[in-house]
Chains A and B, each alone.
Chain A
Amino acid sequence: MKYILLMSGTTAGVEGYHAWSKQDIDAHMAVLHRINKDLTASGEFVATQGLAEPKEAKVVRGEKNGVPVTDGVFPESKEFLLGYWIVDVANAERAYAIAGRISAAAGPGGKPTNMPIEVRQFAMHGAKSE
């Protein structure tokens, strides 16, 4: 069963991340790399991506004639997707366990960030380029 693990945050939270020391960022990245490595070894890894910062986000709507209308103004409280993992696991509990590990990744001073990770199952088979 495929699940997506979504890590979200507000613009204020992303700006806070920029203030982390290099050492703390290195330690955080090392944990995330380790998780990716473990998921690859267990055959559960499908994909992971980090997204560009919220300031690069645009919201697009199609006008009546299909012309894209873009907007880049968002409320401060808006949650942005920061990154995600797609895993192929035996059950929901396993997806929650992986999300728990991501949530426990080290933050400033080596303390767990304890970030909430949203876990959702895929609705149906998606389309792939392969």
Chain B
Amino acid sequence: MKYILMMNTMKAGHGVPGWPKKDLQAHIAFMRGLNKELHQRGELVSAEGLSFPDQAKLVKAGKDGTPVTDGVFAESKEFLAGFWIVDVDSPERAYEVAAKVSAAPGPGGAPLNMPIEVRPIMSGPPPEML
């Protein structure tokens, strides 16, 4: 069963660039270690980090189909900071991996305790929709 583990962040709370270098390095080392472990267990499908919210654009189709972009977002908007796709035997295992991600070290080495959203991935649209 495939699950996506989403790490969200508020635009206002996106303070990562202000972390001391040592804390940032410890955080990245933790994430790399976790990815390695998931890979060795055969559970890692992919993991990606996204650019910061200041580079995000919201796109809508104009009348003639041309893209209309907007980069103004509410302070309270949640942004996806990064995600993992894992292929695991049970939802409990997906939650276990999410808890590990949640406990990644932040400033001063204290666990961030970030909320991680976990959702099953659909293998495809239901047959009746094709």
A interface with B by C-beta (< 8 Å): 4-6, 22, 25-26, 29, 47, 49-52, 54, 56-64, 66-71, 78-81, 86, 92, 96-97, 99-101, 103-104, 112, 114-124, 126-129
Tell me, rounded to whole Å, the shortest Cβ–Cβ distance linking B66 to chain A. 6
Known: A57-B119, A123-B51, A127-B46. A62 touches B103 (CB 8 A): yes
**B39 near A: Cβ within 8 Å?**
yes
B39–A119 touching, CB < 8 Å: no
Q: Are A99 and B103 in contact (CB under 8 A)?
A: no
With both chains docked as a complex, state the minimum distance between the C-beta of A127 and any C-beta of chain B, in angstroms.
4
CB <8 Å contact, A62 and B50: no
Residue of A nearest to B34 (CB): A127
Q: Is the CB of B95 within 8 A of A100?
A: no
A112 with B61: CB separation less than 8 A: yes
Number of residue pairs spanning A and B whose beta carbons lie under 8 angstroms apart: 177
Which has the most chain B C-beta neighbours within 10 Å: A58, A78, A114, A115?
A: A58
CB neighbours (8 Å) of B114 from chain A are: 61
Contact with A along B86-122 (1 / 0, CB 8 A): 0000011001101111110000000101111111111
Which chain B residue has the least Cβ–Cβ distance from A67?
A: B99
Q: Which one, B35, B57, B65, contacts A119 given CB within 8 A?
A: B57
| Complex interface: chain B residues within 8 A of A119 (CB) | 56-59, 69
Q: A60-B98, A60-B116, A66-B103 are in contact. Are A49 and B4 (CB under 8 A)?
A: yes
Complex alpha-carbon distance, A80 and B126, angstroms:
20
Residues A29 and B66 in contact, CB atoms below 8 Å apart: no
* CB <8 Å contact, A129 and B46: yes
Smallest CB–CB gap between B118 and chain A, Å?
5
Cβ–Cβ < 8 Å partners of B69 in chain A? 96, 119
The CA-CA distance from A49 to B12 in the complex, in Å, is 28
A57 to B5, CA, bound (A): 10
Q: Which among A58, A92, A96 is the interface contact of B95 at CB below 8 angstroms?
A: A58
Q: Provided the pairs A52-B119, A116-B59, A117-B58 are in contact, do residues A61 and B78 lie with their beta carbons within 8 angstroms?
A: no
Find chain A residues with CB under 8 A from B98 CB. 60, 62, 68
- Knowing A4-B48, A52-B119, say if A68 contacts B60 (CB, 8 Å): no
Cα distance A69–B118 in the bound complex, in angstroms: 12
CA A25 to CA B68, docked complex, whole Å: 25
